[in-house]
Amino acid sequence: MFYFILLGLRKVIYHCSAFSPRVKKAVMGSYKNQFSDNAKYLYLHWQQTHFIRAIWISGDPQLVSALKKRGFEAYHRRSLLGLFHCLTAKFYFYNSYIGDINQYLAKGAVKVNLWHGSPLKKIEFDIESGPLSNTYKTDSWSENLKCSLKFHQQYIKPDLMLSPSPLMDQLFSSAFRLQASALYRSGNPRTDYYRRYPTQRTSIQKMMKHKFSKVIVYAPTWSDTLAYAEGKEVNRYEQAFDWEMLSQHLQVNNQLFLIRLHPNEAHLAGKFDQYSNILDISHWQDIYSTMHEIDLLITDQSSLCIDFLTYQTPTLFYVPEQATASVADDITEAQGENKQNIQSQREMYDYVDALPIFGNDSSAKVFSFEALLMKLEESDSFYVSAKHSEQYKQLSNLFWSEGDNDCHYSDAFEVIEKQINHLSGNTDIGELPQHSAVKSHIP
């Protein structure tokens, strides 16, 4: 009972924050107190253009200190100044939830969810299976009320979202329960930033002080829940790769293999960069400054493959069935449970199966380490052939509005700044690329 009283008090504080006067400034933040993704690049852009006072909020004192040393404005989430700016800022820009900044003081602010991916797996209120379904799937008003109290920030709708294509309009509208009027056509700050500032890109070759013939990045998606056996976490990547054999292959072919695990699994990658030509970059803020030098993306379901479409980088999908079964066997033996109880995975959106390259019927998918190694030995894996060029173009047109003749394309910074001016009373801003209706664009 006391627990729900506290949850209710949190709601009261949130709604009371609506009475605070708010001024034209932006507070910004990212998940797990990182300096990453869309919010990071929008913040960096405004540090250079001074369009609006932009303030970074984080629970990491070292990050706050580092940003201040660069001459940027940043505050700890629980500091007096941090609380003050969260309570008085007119605009919230975040990558996941308002808790990236402050989940208690956002009522009354314009909440702009910059969302950190383009969904292949179901997200938010579209989730029907897996552990996250308990957050969103309710069967009665009482369960809905209970979840809205327990999962406060997940139930707060954003006021605005960016959507790069009609397909994303439909998915975001459903997943975040938004009207079409809340969606604005544009790219994302993370993909548009280096178009504006190409000289700020980072060279992996210079960083490593070696010229590799090919640079490969392995970026699997998060598996929702971590698997445990006998109280110990099961590292699925140990079974998915023969790291010694992979290292030998990379050395012979002068290739560099970068490991980029999801922040929730980043601790699992540390032991693998002991091998030559294998580098763990899971601790990097992100990889967008280096994407122009990546020759091949290997993933399973990560939406990073959609961002790589802007560079026409080939993608290889590695879904190691044997490793998945091995993890299941470990847990079943240790706990005496049925394999289905490990944790059912969050399902993919229905449209994914029919996609070229990304769909189920694709030659770009491999299911064993041996098959993966064979792909890495084929030169065709490292460029988009004429045969597949049209398929990659179809994907680009589907996920990015640049190839859609029916849509006006503006980069993220232009669209966001027009909307800020509009909401701040400056109406001389031209036409905003807004949507009057959400139509089905799922193939």
Secondary structure string (H, E, C) spanning 66-114 = HHHHCCCCEEECCCHHHHHHHHHEEEEEECCCHHHCCCCCCCCCEEEEC
Tell me the two tokens of residue 395: 């994907």
What secondary structure does DSSP assign to 188-203, as a single string? -HHHHHHHH-GGG---
DSSP string, 18-38: GGS--EEEEEEE-GGG---HH
Q: Please report the pLDDT score of residue 265 as a whole number.
A: 85
Integer Cα distance of 100 and 180 in angstroms: 25
165 contacts 433 by C-beta, under 8 angstroms: no
User: Would you state the structure tokens that stand for residue 429, as one six-digit string?
Assistant: 């801003």
pLDDT of residue 371: 94
As beta bridge partners, residue 317 has 299, 365
Give, in order, the Cα–Cα distances in Å from 352 to each of 20, 89, 285, 299, 402.
44, 39, 28, 15, 21
pLDDT tens, position by position, 20-46: 999 999 999 999 999 999 999 999 999
List, in order, residues 6 or more apart from 421 with CB less than 8 Å away: 427, 429
pLDDT of the residue at 267: 85
At 146-204, the pLDDT tens digits run 888 889 899 999 999 999 999 999 999 999 999 999 999 999 999 999 999 999 999 99
Tokens 């084929």, residue located:
378
Backbone angles phi, psi at 379, to 5 degrees: -65, -30
pTM value is 0.88
Question: Which residue ranges in the chain fall short of pLDDT 50?
Answer: 228-230, 323, 325-343, 403-407, 428-431, 436-443
216-to-266, 290, 292, 359 alpha-carbon distances in Å = 18, 11, 12, 21
Any idea what the Cα angle at residue 117 is, between residues 164 and 205, rounded to 5°? 100
Q: Is 272 within 8 Å of 237 (Cβ atoms)?
A: yes
pLDDT score of 36: 94
Helix (H, G, I), strand (E, B) or coil at 236: helix
Length of the chain: 443
Burial of 29 (0-12, 13-18, 19+ CB in 10 A): buried
Query: Which of 52, 46, 57, 63 minimizes the C-alpha distance to 25?
Result: 52
